[in-house]
Structure 1
Amino acid sequence: MTASTVLTRIQSLQQIVVTAAQMRQIEERIFAAGLPVEALMEKAAGLIARRVKALYADRHQHLGVLVGPGHNGGDALVVARELHLDGYTVSLYCPFSNLKDLTAQQYRYCQSLGIPFVEQVDALKDCDVLIDGLFGFGLQRSLSGDIETVVNQINQWSQPVVSIDLPSGLHTDTGAALGTAVCATHTLCLGLWKQGLLQDQALDYAGSIELIDFGVPLTDVWAVLGKPPSVRRITPEQAIAHLPLARPAATHKYKMGHVLLICGSRRYAGGALLTALGARASGVGMLSIAAPKALKATLTAQLPEALVWGCDESETGAIAQLPDGLDLSVYHAIACGPGLTMDAHAVIQQVLSQKQALVLDADGLNFLAQQGTIPTLQTRQAPTVITPHLGEFKRLFPDLADPMPCRIMAAQAAAAASGAVVLLKGARVAIADPEGTVWINPQSTAALARGGSGDVLTGLLGGLLAQTIAAPSPSHSILDSVLAGAWWHAQAGILAMQERTLLGVDAFTLSQYLLPALIREI
């Protein structure tokens, strides 16, 4: 295998996301091809042991290992064995009498090595580190009885916990706790990313997550998932590759995209400014803003390069109508919604009828929900991107949101119903296109839970879409721009949080970190 082939494989693995059923099918193909289950267990657990040693290098530490009845428990026993042989003090706790055959074999071997088994979980309370090998992927039933008590008990302790594959008790697909679940410090996900680990519900349990590559053949992955698979994870390499970082030497501003922002009101003046700051950072060639006349002077002072259209206002200070001289057809993309208020409904309706690519947020979405006109997006003759947070999503798609066990499936169904690219905001943004593909942004920060953060994203997406349409490429789609924008926005929040703490990332500050975050990554 060449170096480039290895790199391609590693990059592919970082994108692939599987359900429990899909992972089971992939493993069955591996075993049917001749790899013994024992060999896979030894390899995967050996890699976990190596990672645990890297995380906790002091061999004077006492490690407590929780052993389950299935192959996740077998992995834990191999990890315990390797750490014991490497000089660590290890204690084992296995609250099950019936073990799978292979796990029972590993159990007996650990006994023969003299690794102590404790009768009560309390005996692990003074361990320096706990390794959770109770349950792996595919768990369906809620934890109950003594096991529920054990999990709740260790969650009250203060030592770090390393979970093998998933925190025990976590649903593999939805990320929901099945009654209760282990609160891990680190989760070492085996082979391929499990879908549940990339959902909001898992965040309180999974801790820091990393992939342990034990050599899943891509041929088996494609055989089960198809190529490309329908659910994927955004990677930095992919996002950066689809940002407009390269330009022809002889280009000019009219070839670098022209975006129109329709936003703001006297009540929500900041919505227009924050959206414009996001668009400015995108590098778009031309930036135009349609806002109430009362905001024109402020916007011009803050963004002297922008072309600001002052619009007639309603009695409430909303945009009453767009100026007669404003020709919407000249723009490559329009971003509409932040700060408009529902009094600008006539303008929103006008924008929906245009043939330009459209990013719709905030009151643009509220208008669709109020009118019940989501299906009309199917008839638009240009791409539409909608960016709801959870509350807006529930109003737009009540049948999909109540209940919403899986954000990934909900976004997928919403994109199919609307014909739009759906960016469902949250700690783990899910982005779905009408063809059924879903992408998950695996990194974010709670620092973005501030008013106006979404306005910055709307402007950033509008500017990126305008550039994509102005300079089309067969390898770069509207969806690619949305994925790149979501990733970039999150990275800006992460960098700002690292430098300013969770409390120091207001939306204006966020907009000022967009370019520093990109510089750091490239």
Structure 2
Amino acid sequence: MSSPEFRLEQIRRMIVTADQMRSIEQRLFDAGMPVAALMEKVAGRLSDRITELFPPCKVGILVGSGHNGGDALVVARELHFRGYEVRLCCPFSHCKDLTASHLQYAKSLGISCESEIESLRSSNFLIDGLFGFGLTRSLEDPIAAMVDRINEWNLPIVSIDLPSGLHTDTGQALGTAIKATHTLCLGLWKLGLLQDNALEFVGQAELIDFDIPLADIAAILGDPAPIQRITPDWAMSALPLKRPASTHKYKMGHSLLICGSRRYAGGALLTGLGARSSGVGMLSIAVPESLKPMLSSHLPEALIIGCPETESGAIAHLPDLDLSAFDAIACGPGLTLDAAPIVEKILNSDRPMVLDADGLNGLSQLGTVPTLQNRQAPTILTPHLGEFKRLFPEIEIECRSTAVREAAKSTGAIVLLKGARIAIAAPEGQVRINPESTPALARGGSGDVLTGLLGGLLAQNLAAQSKISLLDLTQTAAWWHAEAGILAAQHRTELGVDAHTLTQFLIPAIAVSKKS
């Protein structure tokens, strides 16, 4: 029998679509769980969390006609008994039976209910219980106008399950949506809350567990769930990579970075600094010959390989390197658009590789994206949105998790789509989403650091013949990179996290995570 801690960790990882959540709840009801009992349980836990967030004060509650509105009404009752001054606004003339019963009881307690929102204007905070998961139609007036008016007030807003007006799966605002400061997601994480589209609406998101049995979840999602949320414990389970007491540098991986040009010299340095922080045993960096002195001075422990260069200062070709001497190759940052022949050479090798930036642009120039399936070794692609569209012009990006899944399946590669919420997919269909990041990482060179970090981890993992899967390793690199950005922003503000500074917080971020 699993422990409560194990169950909660599994719950925190799982992400559901609207259809999946509907099916899971139906299993509970079919097993005999009364809808009213579940509503009471959910609302009780919501009330407990809300009282932690806000002391007794004036609260305005927006009540929908469905069960989300019913949850809000039970919360209203509980807050009323705990000393809050509660006011309701229900703009609907008809409600579901259970919701209507709770509304009737709330009124009997003397809680006022209006159909217009102005009565809530003097509230200290609002609770949004208008719409739950599964909304697919755009909001129309007068509800849309009401939502826009509420957003203008700039009051703290706690949304139940997800902000009203958001599509549960894509995170798109359906015409308009509540801009919450807190979202208390019920039971399991809804996919839309982890999409970049939703960020301006969600605020601080938290999961409110209400004890869904793991067996009921697995019956609908499978085991493992197809889309999962990266948690700190999960990411840290791969760090630090194990080092036997009798190990030496060659057993801790040898990573080759191919990067940089005279125009983008910093790309090579940042990639190298990212790789150094990974702990890789040996680091070689292939750069244009003119960059060799600069790289040697900043990374004295690395083996700097000077390459013949073009008139523009890009790598013309790789010298006679035995690529089989390296455990992994990371290629792309700062190479310029002249990189296609270099990309083609490493594609034809049997070495695991990470492709980023101009490595991806070179791949797209070659028109060989589908042939990645034929590579003899793993490939990891790390595009930002623009690079993704160039590589996969036929794939729609309405839902990032769907897009990366299709890209990974079509290429046989692991695909990491950068953004505020990084989405990663394996060819077998598993998707991972990193829920935490910071706008501080929206700086040139941040992605180069991730490329080096991932390349270094990949080399170590393969050299040690570790049992950590490449998908798990990739998610750990993405999480680590984001945590370093978050920690750096805490120390230096979001304005102070340039890419070079980011590299200095990679190791401290791991130390902080280990302590916590």
Q: TM tier, shorter chain?
A: over 0.9
Aligned residue runs from structure 1 range 425-436, under 5 A: 425-436=418-429
* Structure-1 separation of matches of 2:465 and 2:95: 58
Task: Give the AA of the match of 1:225.
Answer: L
Match of 2:289 in 1: 293
- Map Cα deviations across residues 322-341 of structure 1 (whole Å, 9 max, x no partner): 122x2111111000000001
Aligned residue runs from structure 1 range 506-517, under 5 A: 506-517=498-509
**Which is further off, 259-268 or 343-352?**
343-352
- Map Cα deviations across residues 196-237 of structure 1 (whole Å, 9 max, x no partner): 000000000000000000111100000000000110000110
Match of 2:51 in 1: 53
Q: Aligned with 1:320: secondary structure? A: coil
State the 1:129 CA deviation. Answer: 0.6
State the 1:245 CA deviation. Answer: 4.1
Aligned residue runs from structure 1 range 285-434, under 5 A: 285-324=281-320, 326-401=321-396, 404-434=397-427
CA RMSD of aligned residues (A): 0.9
Match of 2:14 in 1: 16
* Structure-1 separation of matches of 2:271 and 2:511: 21
* Structure-1 separation of matches of 2:492 and 2:130: 39
Match of 1:445 in 2: 438
* Structure-2 separation of matches of 1:383 and 1:452: 25
Match of 2:233 in 1: 237
Q: Does 1:82 align with 2:93?
A: no
State the 1:344 CA deviation. Answer: 2.8
Aligned residue runs from structure 1 range 4-403, under 5 A: 5-57=3-55, 59=56, 61-324=57-320, 326-401=321-396
* Structure-2 separation of matches of 1:142 and 1:109: 31
* Structure-2 separation of matches of 1:197 and 1:119: 29
* Structure-2 separation of matches of 1:245 and 1:382: 21
Q: Aligned with 1:334: secondary structure? A: strand
* Structure-2 separation of matches of 1:328 and 1:245: 24
- Map Cα deviations across residues 473-510 of structure 1 (whole Å, 9 max, x no partner): 33x11111101000000000111111111111110001
Kept in 1: contact 2:16–2:188 (CA 8 A): yes
TM-score (norm 2): 0.99
Q: Aligned with 2:135: secondary structure? A: coil
Task: Give the AA of the match of 2:428.
Answer: E
* Structure-1 separation of matches of 2:240 and 2:319: 31
State the 1:372 CA deviation. Answer: 1.8
- Map Cα deviations across residues 221-270 of structure 1 (whole Å, 9 max, x no partner): 00000000110000110111112343111111111011000000011000
Kept in 2: contact 1:72–1:133 (CA 8 A): yes
**Which is further off, 118-127 or 179-188?**
118-127
* Structure-2 separation of matches of 1:323 and 1:246: 33
> Aligned residues, how many?
514
State the 1:367 CA deviation. Answer: 1.2
State the 1:445 CA deviation. Answer: 0.6
Q: Where in structure 1 are there 5+ consecutive unaligned residues?
A: none
- Map Cα deviations across residues 442-479 of structure 1 (whole Å, 9 max, x no partner): 000111111100000000000000011011233x1111
* Structure-1 separation of matches of 2:487 and 2:16: 29
Match of 1:460 in 2: 453
* Structure-1 separation of matches of 2:418 and 2:284: 26
Task: Give the AA of the match of 1:329.
Answer: S
* Structure-2 separation of matches of 1:493 and 1:128: 33
Q: Aligned with 2:507: secondary structure? A: helix
Identity of paired residues, percent? Answer: 64
Kept in 1: contact 2:417–2:423 (CA 8 A): yes
- Map Cα deviations across residues 17-63 of structure 1 (whole Å, 9 max, x no partner): 00000000000000111110001000001100111100002x2x100
Q: Aligned with 1:97: secondary structure? A: coil
Deviant stretches of 4+, over 2 Å: 243-246
Query: Which among 509, 513, 518 is matched to residue 510 of structure 2?
Result: 518
Task: Give the AA of the match of 2:381.
Answer: I
* Structure-2 separation of matches of 1:94 and 1:13: 33
